[in-house]
Structure 1
Amino acid sequence: MFEHILYQVSESTCTITLNRPEVYNAINDKLSYELQDAFKKASMDEAVRVVVLTGAGKGFCSGQDLKAIAGLQIASLAETVRARYNPIITAMRHMPKPIICRLNGIAAGAGCSLALACDIIVASEEASLAEIFIGIGLVMDSGSSYFLPRLVGSAKAFELSTMGKKVPATEAQAMGLVNKTVPTSDLDKAVAQYVHYYAAAPTKTVGLMKRLLNLSFHSSLEEMLEYEALYQEQAGRTQDNKEGIQAFMEKRKPNFKGN
């Protein structure tokens, strides 16, 4: 079905692998549209309760494939961003399921944005992130201007974006860009720990929490209190809520089904 990504579903987990390792998974037209379709497919698949995003080979994603557009006359960069990149980031943030980034190597430019758009980032010690747009005289896109200051603060975000500094994974964890950094040999094990947790979690409730946290970036306290009330009503109607209460009463571990 896909040419430049690998799409696999196994035991409630969908793994989306960017598969252009020869160019560090740089994004061309085909890959950008395939990613849009992959996230839509995972979002609609009720069997999927957690998504893992990673890259094949040594890199996660090196951003836009500049060689693919070299010499081309692009009528509008704005329309390119709107058509190719914005729908990917929107689909990721609107997906009512957790997305775990398995950061196996460099995440640069739009690739860095892809990583930051995930809910959890587990990084190899050999991985790094870089907002390299400045190097070709362009501004950040694909959501980096939104995510970066919220993760590291305005001053640090300005430094990282205007200087294009490569941030090693361990440093990225210290400044709050990634959740966990492990030796490369332990990366799959560390990702699996998160996957196993979320695959057994109350999926609809996790999705509602994700939506609440998205809203909190640009809402007042009063608005958030009302959103909490509305989403608590929805969470309270799930079968997982009933199972959680029953398990508490019976002093056992709940068996959440994601519905």
Structure 2
Amino acid sequence: MTSINFEVKDQIAFITLNRPDKLNAFNREMAMMLQQRLDECQQDKNIRCVYLTGAGKAFCAGQDLSEVVQTDGEIVNKMLREQYNPIVWKIRMMEKPVVGAINGVAAGAGANMALACDVVIATQSSYFTQAFSKIGLVPDCGGTFILPRFIGWQRASALMMLADKISAEEAEKMGMLYKTYTDETFLQESVKIAEKLSKMPTRSLAMIKHALNFSVSNTFEQQLKVEDVFQQKAVETHDYKEGVKAFLEKRVPEYTGE
């Protein structure tokens, strides 16, 4: 049994973390295989959206602690450099939308990996926790960067220090995710979102994603320049021309991602 299930259907890459007996906690094999699959998604022009979820009752419980029983700082640093940092970087740099379909617990690195996705949706029974402080660690996977920007400094600080469990509905109200769905409708509704994104002008979506990446550190003046650059590129795409033409002809546009 592979630790990452991978299937491409209707231009959507379905990536499933597949260690359900460990609540999809990461070992090195799973982390490296996920990186490989993300690279494939980036390179394959036939893939127009990525759908990331977990098998069984969890999305991801973070790191499998059986791999880090030694208290050697270099081991943990190596894991960050070689496993986790590349994963969240690939998600944020992916020139295609990434849907984080949170089907259960998202803890530690799993929680912050979820937050790095472009559209985060969750089942009502799922929850998030910044579990790092419980074992004397610091949030990673970009959590200290992303979470305060989503929910504010004070809430992020409290969640990271107290390691509280936050339900999906609470997370939605805080601004950590886009929407929650009942457990019964979650799969259908989350796949609908991926299908919609896959049919949109994905070059434009990629530029929106990159513009948002720039926005977190830019001044307002700098961001206006970023928008100017990306808008010029967007105007030159086939999909922009198709979108305008379809609008004028009062028909549904057929986007190609070009």
Deviation per residue, 1:68-118 (Å, 9 max, x gap): 332475634223211111000100000011111111000000000110010
Distance, in Å, in 2 between the alignment partners of 1:61 and 1:44 is 25
**Matched residue type, 1:97:** K
Residue 77 of structure 1 corresponds to which residue in structure 2? Answer: 76
Query: Separation in 2 of the partners of 1:27 and 1:95?
Result: 21
Question: Within 2, Cα distance between the matches of 1:59 and 1:123?
Answer: 11
Separation in 2, partners of 1:73, 1:229: 47
2:97 counterpart residue number: 98
Identity rate of aligned residues, in percent?
Answer: 36
The aligned length equals 258
Q: How does 1:147-162 map to 2 (within 5 A)?
A: 147-162=146-161
Q: Any idea what SS the aligned residue of 2:58 has?
A: coil
Contact 1:123 1:169 in 2 (8 A): yes
Relative distance call for 1:76 and 1:200 in structure 2 (3 A) is same
How far the C-alpha of 1:193 sits from its partner, in A, is 2.1
CA–CA separation in structure 1 for the residues paired with 2:73 and 2:150: 33
The separation in 2 between residues aligned to 1:28 and 1:81, in whole angstroms, is 12
Partner residue of 2:16?
17
Unaligned runs of 5+ in 1: none
Q: Which residue of 2 aligns with 1:212?
A: 211
Q: Give runs of aligned pairs for residues 24-173 of structure 1, distance below 5 A.
A: 24-71=23-70, 73=72, 75-173=74-172
Residue 249 (structure 1) aligns with: 248
Question: What is the CA–CA distance in structure 1 between the aligned matches of 2:157 and 2:218, rounded to whole Å?
Answer: 24
Q: Is the 8 A contact 1:122 1:190 kept in 2?
A: no
Task: Give the aligned residue type for 2:235.
Answer: G
> For residues 21 and 134 of structure 1, what CA distance do their matches in structure 2 show?
24
Distance 2:188 2:158 in 1: 33
Q: Where does 1:218-229 land on structure 2 (aligned, <5 Å)?
A: 218-229=217-228
TM-score, normalisation: structure 1: 0.97
What is the CA–CA distance in structure 2 between the aligned matches of 1:80 and 1:108, rounded to whole Å?
A: 17
**Which deviations, in whole Å up to 9, do the C-alpha atoms of 1:46-73 show, x marking residues without a partner?**
0111100000000000000002332475
Whether the 8 Å contact between 2:100 and 2:114 is mirrored in structure 1 is: yes
1:162-181 CA-to-partner distances (Å, cap 9, x unmatched) read: 00001011111111111111
SS at match of 2:185: helix
SS of the residue 2:254 aligns to = coil
Which residue identity lines up with residue 159 of structure 1 in the other structure? Answer: A
SS at match of 2:192: helix
Deviates more, 1:123-132 or 1:72-81: 72-81
Bigger mean CA deviation after superposition, 169-178 or 17-26: 169-178
Unaligned runs of 5+ in 2: none
Aligned AA for 1:153?
Answer: G
- Matched-pair contact (CA < 8 Å) for 2:68–2:75: no
